[in-house]
Every structure is written in C-alpha cells, then in structure tokens.
Amino acid sequence: MFAELAINVEVPLEGTFHYDVPRDLAAKLQVGQLVEVEFGRRLAQGIVIAFVEEAPVEETKPIIALIDEVPVVRPWQIKLAQWMSEAYLTPLNACLRLMLPPGLTRWADVVVDLNPRWDGNGRLTDTQKQLVELLREKGDLRGRQINRLLGAKSNWKTAVNQLAQRDIVRKATVLDPPRIRPKQVRTAELIASEQRIWQVVAQLGKRSKKADVVQFLAQSKDPLPEETAVLAVTGASESHLAALEADHLISRTPAQTIAIPLADPSDVDPTLRPLFTQLPAPLPTPHAPPWDDLIAQNQIHLLPEPATVGLAVPPKQVLAELFALRGAQTYWRLLHMLQQAAQPVEISQLYAEAGANLNHLKKLVKLDLIRLGDQEVWRDPLADRDFVPAEPPPLTRDQARVWGRLKVGMIETQDAFARDGAEGGEGAAPPVLLHGVTGSGKTEIYMRAIDFALRSGQQAMVLVPEIALTPQTVRRFAARFPGRVAVMHSRLSDGERYDTWRRARQGLFDIVVGPRSALFMPFANLGVIVLDEEHDPSYKQTPPVPAPYYHAREVAMAAGRVTGATVIMGSATPDVVTYHLARGGRYQLLELPKRVMGHRQRIEGQALRLQIESAYRQTAVDPDDALTIPLPPIQVVDLRHELRAGNRSIFSRALEKALTETLDRGEQAILFLNRRGTATFVICRDCGHVLTCPRCDMPLTYHRPRMLLACHHCGRQEPPHSDCPQCGSKRIRYFGLGTEKVEEEVQQRWPNARITRWDTDTTAGRDTHETLLASFINQEADVLVGTQMIAKGLDLPLVTLVGVISADVSLGLPDYRTGERAFQLLAQVAGRAGRGLLGGRVIIQTYQPEHYAVRAAAEHDYASFYIDEIRFRTQHSLPPFRRMAKLVLVDPVNERGKFAAEQLARGLRQHVREKALSATEVLGPTPPFFSRVDGRFRWQILLRTPNPTRLLSDFPIPHPWQVDIDPVSIL
C-alpha cells in the first residue's frame, strides 16, 4: 500500500508524492496524519492525503515515522485545500499550510523509551550509558526533558539514534501538548440579587445603630414610622437619630398636635376665621390664646401625633450610605462596580479602582455574592462600561421573520448531509446573504444560528474584517457563549496560535471569532460560517502574503459544500457581485429593513453614564428591549459652489457651522478622509469633472516625474491638460490631501478643540487602536480625524457630527470598484453618526454631488446604488458579467520587468486568438497605480474573461508572476 503525501515545506510544491507504507504503520496510518519522510536529501514532514494500491512512480521511499496519532488536518480540510488549489492555481501544499499552525515542525518532539526486550548486553559509550540509566530510572522521556537533564552539549541526539539502530531504545515523534495557556486573567462577577446584598450588608461591616436605623427605614412598609417604634426595634437612641439627621440621612418630625376643624367656619369668631380656614394644621407649641379660645369653644379637635422618622436620601443611594455607616465602603465599591459592569470584571481592575484586596473578594465569595473566574484576555476599551446582553433578547418582528427562514434552511442542510454523508450537496439550502444596515440586528441573527448549530453538536466560525476594530462584537459572542469562544487576532504569537489550533483539534471550544484565517480551524463538525461585513476587502489574501490569493467568502462557501455548514454573509452594503448573485437566486437574500437599533439596557446605561437624554425610542411592533433611532440625515455639500463663493478652505460653510455648533454643545465629531488621500487624480474645481480614460471610464492619475496622465487599467497615457475638457476652466486641481493637513487646519480654525488623529501612521504601534479609541471615548478629545479605519469601529455615543472632507478622493481612484468602495465607505462612515445616543448628522463634501455613489449614500439607498453600479459593470464587461485575473510581476529592474510583461502579454494574446476566446481580453501590461513598492517596479496584466481558472490552467503563468484570481483591487 502507498500513501499519497503533500510535503509540508515552505516552498510551494506542485503535486503530491507517493511513499511506501511500512507494515508496522499500516494499521495506524490515517488520512490527515503528519508523518516524517525523506524528501530529496533531507527529512521533511508530509501530510497523508490518500491511500492508493499502486504508485505512479517506480521507486518509492518508505514513511519513516508517524509524528502524531491525531490527524493534523481533517478530511474536509483536505477537500477544501484541493478545491483551493484548483480555484487559485496554487500548489496543494501551499493551501494545506494555511490549515496548520505556523512552524508546526518546531512543535514536534521525540519520545524515547528503553526497549523492554533488550537483554542488557553490548558495549555503550559514556553518553549512551547515561541515557540508558536515565531511561531506566524515569521511564520514557521527551527530547526536551533529556536535553534538560543531560545538556545540549552531551550529544544525546546521536546517542539516541545509535541506540535506536541497535534496538536498545525506541524512538517516536510526537507533537507537543499546548504549553502556553491562552492568556487568562482572574475575574470576579456579581451573582447575587440586590435583595441578597441588602440581607448581608450587616455582615460586611461594623455594627452600627445608625445603620440599623437607616436599614429599618429603607425596608419599612410605612415611609414615616413612629420614632418610638424605630428606637424600640433597632435599639438605637435619641442621639443616633440626632446624628443621622445632622448628616441629612433622615428627617424627623417631632411629636405634635394637629388641630382639626369641627365647627362651621361661619360660627367662628371672624377674627379667628383666617386661621381656622387653614386647618387642619399642627398646633404651634406652646399654643397661645386664639387656640385656647377655639379649644374652649369646642370648635376644634386636638389630635396628638407621635414623632416620626423618614429617610432623607433617595432610595438608590441608601445602599451606599448603609455600607458607609458600617465602614464597609470598599465592599460597596466592589459590589457597585460589578453591578454596573453586569459581566465579569478583571480582578486587578477591581483592586485598583475599589482599593480592594483579595480578602475583600474572598469574603464576598463566602457570602455567595460574587463568583471568581478566569477569562481569556481580550482588551476592549468599552469592556466595563457598556452593557452587553448575555441572554438572547426576544426578536423583533423583522428578525423573527429572517430567523425563521434561516432556520428552515439550516435544518434542510443538516438533513441533506445526514442523509447523504459528506456528499450531501443535494437538497442543502443555498448560502445566505443577510442585508441590513449597521445596527439592524444582524449579529443577533448570527448568534441564533450559532446557538442552533451548537445545540446540534456543531461548531461555528465567525469572520470579522478586523478584530481590533470590533471589540464589542467579540465581547457579545463571548458573553452569549461563555467559555466556548476562542478569539484569533493578529497579535497572537506563534505559540498562542499553536495552542488555539490544538484546542480546536481537541474540541475544547466551539466558536472561533477571527479574520479570514479563522476559516481553517480544525473543527470536527462545522455547522455555520458567518462572514460579517462580507464586502470587506480584507477578506482577500493579497501579496506580499504568500499564495493562495483566496477570498474568504469563496472559501467559506466551498467549506460549506464539503461540510454541510450554512454560510451566512452579512453586510449593510453587500459586494455588488454578491448582491447580484443573491438576486439571481444563487444565495438566499434575507433583508432587515433600514433602521438602527439598540438594546434598551445598553442605551439606558450609556445615557445614565453620560447624563444625556437618548434619542432612541420604542416602536410599537417590537419587544420592549429593542429601541430604535432613525438613520441620520445626510447633507451633500457641493464644493464647486464653495469655491465660487470665495471659500478656499477645506471646510465648507455648512461643515464649519456644524462643527462649531457641535463643539459648542460639548459633543464630539469625526472628520473622515480616505487613507489614500495622497492619491493624485485630476479634477476640475469649477465643474467637478474628473479626467477619465476614454476607453475605460476610469480616472486618470497624474505622475509627477513623467508629467503624464495615465490609465492604470489599460495603460493609455496622455499629456497633462491645462484646461478642463468639459468646461474649459483652467482651475484643474491635482488632488491630494492627508489627515495631517486636516488636523492642522482644524487646529487653526478651532484652537480650543482637542483633536485625535487616527490613521496608519498613528496606529503603527501595537495597542494604539485601543488607546486612541479609549481616549476618544473618555472624551479626552473632541474631534477625531481619521481614515477609513474609523468607518468600521464602534458606536460612539457622543458623536453627533460626521464630516467627510472629500468624497472625491475615494471616487478618484483608478479602479473599477471605486464607486462601490466609495458607496460602502460613505454608508459606513454615516453609520458612525447614526448610532450615537443624541442622533446625529452627516455632511459629505464633494466636487461630484451628482455621482451615483454619493447620491445613493446620501439617501441611505443601497438599491439605487446597485442599479447604477450594475449598469456600469454591464457596459464595461466587469464582474459579475466577466471575471478578472490580475497578473503582477515585481522586478527591481524596470526595463527587465517591462520586457517580461510584454512577452507574457503577447503570449496570452496569441493563446486567446488561437483558441478563439472571444469573451476574453488581455489588458496591459501597464505599471499599476502603485507602480513602485519597496523600491521595486511592478508590471501588471489584467485578464477579463468568463473563467480565469480555466484560461490559466490551459496557459500556465510562469514563476515568479503573482496570479490573483478575482482581485479585490486592481490598483
């Protein structure tokens, strides 16, 4: 029998290799296992892909050893890798590598034990003797242990090998067990009700009669009990009451006599009548003649009222006062913090903020008030101040409709796969596109689907574009599914990645939240894959990361096909191709109508914390927990008018006014600029016309050194224009503006405003995302100036104004997706303002107010954007009507790159002619928009064709060209 192996080495290797399966391994060997083999002249690891009866080559080497009994990839992962290998024209071993933790080789170790059948004879060297002694004494040992005991210099490795050859010891390879535990922190969580806290206050502090009085009053049914009763029950004395009154904790009403009118006012002596008509009232002490007269004439009745006591503090504060009176403030601070957090809080934070120590916590544990626990470290600037519902809230009407249909699909798919095993494609429901604006409740739907999968014994993957920017989402999953979530992010070390992978393989968690690489968790029984913000370009693997240049969306769907997992893509602004396919029935389109929503407790918590009135309201049809807020109004400002009105500043009059007002009200604003703000496209400042390529309708870009306007799509070049081809104006502007410049201008115009700048430059450090965000949330800044990064982000409750400095920058990029990206960005940026507690507004400045992407974004109208965009795509045979492939060559020598590129393009054109591929076009070669990266020159060829994979498997592209199928950007 032979095993077909993929070799796990750094370099991509075409094809698989066949090895002989030795008899002693035959019974143990399984598909997916990691084995040791000789590859060429050296030892390497291989992954068993399949077993075959006959090898296609004459001579095969044997498999040397099995490295780990537990397979390192699952059968579905092998199928997925094979699919990727074909779809992205990338060798199988490169695809399989994605499914293994980085540097798997490093985690392998040997185990050595003494052969029990060894008779003890034979001569041994000193090291060999030492080794044998050790094994006798300690039993089997790991390589790392031997290393520790004998030292690296002892040459024990050679000794092991020599002894193994003589059958004196036996040697096997294993993968290390996880060593680094996921970073955990100790947490405390409140588990007691408020009532329980009342019960135990007395046990948490000193004895105090004063406290007894306050507690009695707080719990008394009668709000004004008699003083004598209070004193009797509590054992307190008059002086305690006096002290409490002096501290304004209680109010006392002394014993008094009430005069109640008995007579008819007309019978009363006219001089006394004014007094009489005010009765009943307390009788002044000591009372004087007029009263005596009334009493004497039996015109009033005297009612003695005993002295009473009442609370003088609002009910919400009583508990705090009680703790204070008992000298137990620390306990109160602890309990109060935990109560506010409504979720586990890091102990170190409790120590710091409550001035507490471990003894305090222990006491609370003993009284069953709190629970201590461990939690994986997840830094989140909002962690302890923002409510996250742990229990699923009742669904809104729209959510219920969507979830109903989704659930039916999940059941159909589960049934289809249960019936037909792994081949259960037949009858499975299609992937789902969940289209709904930010805050329309999509995450809630994801969680329902995941809950459903988990209950069926399945696992779930949740893909998010950038974890550092979605801490709140992560926290919601962790709160809803405590102990079952693992988070993957770019800051994990190799060791942490290895551990996460090991834990997934052992089934120690069921949900992974992470970037595109989370797709490769070795789950046993995958039930659902969620792609949040499915349109996000970060889902595509792109150079300089090695091939395959896969798209997580496509891979997720392939994974769904081989595992039976339901794929849910969610977005407020779906990729035009995705939406097109959904409308055509390839995906199930589920929509959550346009509205923005928040959980009642969270909104009220925020409002209380910030002491503002929230603009969220309850709607009639939905459950009590869901509050909604209308989408923010968007104003589009035509920068051409500003110019004509003599305003040359980067702030239009409207934005200037709005920002001034916002700052005056003590609210916050975000000013947004595209990251590629330095892009140099060419725009007419009078009519807003953007110079475009007559062949492609793509914006032309200006190249300073060569003084040329170039189309990066087709390679066309023209000399720079001195006047506008549309209106003849001479005011042509070569656009370019960075965040620094914006920051500067804000500072100049509003010297008192505190500004935070957030872009790739300022967030180069490790933790700065969190730090910047936290400082903005803490209101340490009034204005956030940032790039598209902030478009993702969080709900910032005090942000009431979002200004887009220039929508044109995103529209000016020479990429066919520029309209789509602009729409997505504007829609998302606008969403930042829309979810603040105070509502908000958006101002978009642009030279092209009539551009369909700007117009549609201003109306929150995805549908109308889609119609215009799809028309543009049809006209130019762009995706989804034709697919694309991007071929890029990087060469330090420009001329050489150009020559090679021209040669390849010629070859491709000839191939297209010979095969009469009429729907296929070869564009270029041309230097792309980013024509120099790291000092090296790039040349690019674009293919527009119905099926790039088929085209390129007939015409293999030589190394070292990068082949990007369905690129997300052609810049």
Shortest CB 647 distance to Zn ion, Å: 18
Interface with ligand ADP, residue 465, by CB under 6 A: no
Among 225, 482, 623, 736, binds ligand ADP (CB under 6 A): 623
Hey, what amino acid is at 20?
D
Return the H-helix or E-strand segment holding 315.
helix 315-325
Hey, what amino acid is at 427?
G
Which residue's CB is nearer to Zn ion, number 39 or number 816? 816
Interface with Zn ion, residue 157, by CB under 5 A: no
Which residue's CB is nearer to ligand ADP, number 354 or number 388? 388
User: Are the C-beta atoms of 868 and 921 separated by less than 8 Å?
Assistant: no
**Sign, Cα dihedral of 678, 679, 681, 686:** negative
Q: Residue 919 phi/psi, 5° resolution?
A: -90, 5
Which residue's CB is nearer to Zn ion, number 292 or number 718? 718
Structure tokens at 68: 């780990």
Q: What's the rounded Cα separation, in Å, for the pair 473 and 465?
A: 11
* Pairing status of strand 2-7 against strand 17-20: antiparallel
962 binds, among Zn ion, ligand ADP, none (CB under 5 to 8 A by kind): none
Q: What's the rounded Cα separation, in Å, for the pair 673 and 657?
A: 19
Structure tokens at 889: 């060559």
The residue among 417, 395, 703, 387 whose CA lies nearest residue 565 is 417
Among 299, 399, 606, 739, binds ligand ADP (CB under 6 A): 399
User: Are the C-beta atoms of 701 and 710 separated by less than 8 Å?
Assistant: yes
Interface with ligand ADP, residue 102, by CB under 6 A: no
Interface with ligand ADP, residue 396, by CB under 6 A: yes
Interface with ligand ADP, residue 311, by CB under 6 A: no
Shortest CB 587 distance to ligand ADP, Å: 18
Interface with ligand ADP, residue 131, by CB under 6 A: no
End-to-end CA distance of the chain: 50
Shortest CB 460 distance to ligand ADP, Å: 16
Neighbours of 560 (CB within 10 A): 22
Structure tokens at 385: 């101040």
Contacts of residue 231, defined as CB under 8 A and 6 or more positions apart, other chains included, come to 237, 238, 241
DSSP 8-state assignment for residue 344:
-
Hey, what amino acid is at 911?
H
Q: Lay out the site mask for ligand ADP across 410-439 (x = CB under 6 A, - = otherwise).
A: --------------------------x-xx
Structure tokens at 737: 């503006």
Shortest CB 323 distance to ligand ADP, Å: 32
Shortest CB 789 distance to ligand ADP, Å: 18
Which residues in 360-389 contact ligand ADP (CB under 6 A)?
389
Structure tokens at 155: 């040459």
Shortest CB 675 distance to Zn ion, Å: 24
User: Considering CB under 6 A, how many residues would be counted as binding ligand ADP?
Assistant: 21
Among 395, 576, 805, 900, binds ligand ADP (CB under 6 A): 395
Burial of 720 (0-12, 13-18, 19+ CB in 10 A): middle
Per the document, the length of the chain is 971
- Per DSSP (E only), the strands in 191-280 are 250-253, 256-261
Which residue's CB is nearer to Zn ion, number 799 or number 888? 888
The residue among 586, 631, 577 whose CA lies nearest residue 436 is 631
DSSP 108-150: EEEEEEE-TT--S-S---HHHHHHHHHHHHH-SEEHHHHHHHH
Structure tokens at 741: 């410049």
Return the H-helix or E-strand segment holding 727.
none
Interface with ligand ADP, residue 533, by CB under 6 A: no
Which residue's CB is nearer to ligand ADP, number 599 or number 817? 599
Which residue's CB is nearer to ligand ADP, number 547 or number 592? 592
Which residue's CB is nearer to ligand ADP, number 209 or number 835? 835
687 binds, among ligand ADP, Zn ion, none (CB under 5 to 8 A by kind): Zn ion
Interface with ligand ADP, residue 393, by CB under 6 A: yes
Report the SS3 class of residue 584: coil
Contacts of residue 564, defined as CB under 8 A and 6 or more positions apart, other chains included, come to 413, 414, 416, 417, 422, 424, 428, 526, 527
Shortest CB 805 distance to Zn ion, Å: 21
817 binds, among ligand ADP, Zn ion, none (CB under 5 to 8 A by kind): none
Q: Which residue has tokens 């003894």?
A: 359
Interface with ligand ADP, residue 791, by CB under 6 A: no
Which residue's CB is nearer to Zn ion, number 69 or number 850? 850
Shortest CB 393 distance to ligand ADP, Å: 3
Interface with ligand ADP, residue 860, by CB under 6 A: no
User: Are the C-beta atoms of 918 and 54 separated by less than 8 Å?
Assistant: no
Which residues in 703-762 contact Zn ion (CB under 5 A)?
711, 713-714, 716, 724, 726-727, 729
Q: What's the rounded Cα separation, in Å, for the pair 837 and 822?
A: 26
Which residues in 551-610 contact ligand ADP (CB under 6 A)?
597-599, 602
599 binds, among Zn ion, ligand ADP, none (CB under 5 to 8 A by kind): ligand ADP
395 binds, among ligand ADP, Zn ion, none (CB under 5 to 8 A by kind): ligand ADP
Which residues in 438-457 contact ligand ADP (CB under 6 A)?
438-444
Which residue's CB is nearer to ligand ADP, number 625 or number 964? 625
Q: Lay out the site mask for Zn ion across 673-702 (x = CB under 5 A, - = otherwise).
A: -----------x-xx-x---x-xx------
Contacts of residue 933, defined as CB under 8 A and 6 or more positions apart, other chains included, come to 890
724 binds, among ligand ADP, Zn ion, none (CB under 5 to 8 A by kind): Zn ion
Residues that bind ligand ADP (CB under 6 A): 389, 393-396, 399, 436, 438-444, 597-599, 602, 623, 625-626
Residues that bind Zn ion (CB under 5 A): 684, 686-687, 689, 693, 695-696, 711, 713-714, 716, 724, 726-727, 729
